[in-house]
Amino acid sequence: MKYRSYLLLAVTGLFAACSGNQKPVDLTGQSKKNTGKYEFGTVSEKALSSSANLPGQLVPFNEVNLFPKVNGFVKQLFVDRGSIVKKGQLLMTLEAPEMESQLQAANSRYIQSQENAEASKEKYERLKEAAKEPGSVSPLDLDNANSKMKADLAMAQSEHSNVDAVRTMQGYLRIYAPFDGMIVQRNVSPGALVAPGKETDQPMLIIQDINKMRLTVYIPEDYVDKVDLNQPVTFTFNAMPGQAHTAKISRSANALGSMRQEAIEIDVANKSGQLKPGMYAEVKIPMVSGAKSLLVPNSAIVRSTEKEYVVTVRNGKANLVNIKEGLTSKDSTEVFGDLKPDDKILLHASDEIKQGDEI
């Protein structure tokens, strides 16, 4: 009976061993089936599209925030938001009563210094005339009189400069337009106390030159060397669909900003006043003819919250290559990364495929 129990245990163990050896075979078979489902494509190199569509924004050709140069109260305001002004036009006047007192005091000191200078000059002239008689005037007295005359004249000139300075400060109480434009913001009213401030403070007035506008477009780093600055650009404003405009690129920054983009500007005439600062436009930027780029099928790009990449196949193993997207067409996308033409890539890839997986 004991031997029969041992035999039963041995048979049961044999079946269990056979069953355990069968699992790897089944998994391998499944892996082969999955391998057959992979679809492959290649990286192609083609001529870049003749243009790139990028967003642009209108900004005023000139814009100035007007601040006071002296402390004072707003006396009169001759413009308001929306007022069209000409260069040199009086916009507002300020009043500072203490400045009138300063001018009177400066004038008084100037008059006094003038009188002292005239008296010193007359004294020197008399001593100089008397010195013609030998022994009547000592040379030391004559030199002292000459020095006193020069010092008083210098003092008179200094007081005259002080008067001019106070008058100049009084001129700052009148605010003029620095160029032709429109008042787009008014932040003060008559009677308000104003004082010189920093650029971050609220200005009294904001004036913009809207007769000519700047259409600013930011070119991504990958396209900087491919933009044809000599060819005209075409743009359409979102607020005025169907009206295409053409102009040439007026200037470029020739440097990348904080967002790794280069700013270019297109001057846009606005004689009719229809265009407003802040309007957005779709700008077709011409590219240099002959420039080529790498293209991959749209389905080959894997996008996650952390990165964008494609899966290349090298020596039968998966290699994840980070990319940046460029222009996109119906079936392919321009990419930038560590890729070469004719590289084998995986279509319909997913984030389940890891670096080094056998394909």
Each residue's pLDDT tens digit, 12-61: 444 444 444 443 433 333 333 344 578 888 888 876 566 778 899 999 99
Of 299, 308, 295, whose CA–CA distance to 340 is shortest? 295
User: Distance between CA atoms of 227 and 274, rounded to whole angstroms?
Assistant: 29
Per-domain boundaries in the chain: 53-61+210-286, 69-176, 291-347
Tokens 């998994």: give the residue. 27
So what CATH class is 53-61+210-286?
mainly beta
* Third-level CATH fold of 291-347: 2.40.420
**Domains 53-61+210-286 and 291-347 are alike in CATH topology:** no
For the chain, give the mean pLDDT. 82
Q: How many CB atoms lie within 10 A of CB 278?
A: 10
CB neighbours of residue 46 within 10 Å: 12
Return the pLDDT at 26: 33
Q: With contact defined as beta carbons under 8 Å apart, do 40 and 283 qualify?
A: no
**What is residue 348's predicted lDDT score, i.e. its pLDDT?**
86
Helix (H, G, I), strand (E, B) or coil at 326: strand
Q: Which of 91, 93, 103 is nearest to 64 (CA)?
A: 91
Beta-bridged to residue 246, according to DSSP, are 234
**pLDDT tens per residue across span 260-303:** 888 989 999 888 888 889 999 999 888 775 567 788 898 889 98
Please state the φ and ψ torsions of residue 118, each to the nearest 5 degrees.
-65, -40
Hey, what amino acid is at 324? K
Contacts of 232 (CB under 8 A, 6+ apart): 246, 247, 248, 286
Q: Give, for 307, the enclosing helix (H) or strand (E).
A: none
